[in-house]
Amino acid sequence: MKAVITVIGRDTVGVIAKVSAVCAELNINIEDVTQSIMQEVFCMIMLVDLSACTTPQGEVRAHFDALGTAMQMQVTLTRQEVFDAMHTI
């Protein structure tokens, strides 16, 4: 199962490392990543594979919510099927 992780907030040191650490802890494979800084706002999009993750989805979301709170950033996880449903008529 694929998903997209987005991270938005004031740029700070170690954002990519912290998000990657949570992914590693949950056995989530990062397949692609793009990031940029726009006028001091850090923006990152990661395409991830959740197929090896055995943690329940609610707990996975809780991990990323807690990370976002700790970093004072918005961190969201959206499963690919949500994107697919949004583009299906």
Whole-prediction pTM:
0.88
Q: What is the pLDDT of residue 89?
A: 62
CA 28 to chain centre: 10
| Fold (CATH) for 2-86 | Alpha-Beta Plaits (3.30.70)
Domain residues of the chain, as ranges?
2-86
Residue reference for tokens 């949500």: 82
**Contact between 63 and 69 (Cβ < 8 Å):** no
Residue reference for tokens 């692609």: 32
Strand partners, 3: 48, 79
**Contact between 47 and 57 (Cβ < 8 Å):** no
Tell me how crowded residue 16 is: count the other CB atoms within 10 A of its CB.
Answer: 15
Distance CA 73, CA 18 (A): 12
pLDDT digits (tens, 9 = 90+) for 6-24: 999 999 899 999 999 999 9
Q: What is the pLDDT of residue 85?
A: 78
pLDDT mean by block of 10 residues, the chain; 89 residues: 95 94 97 93 96 94 96 93 72
The dihedrals phi and psi of 81, each to the nearest 5 degrees, come to -65, -25
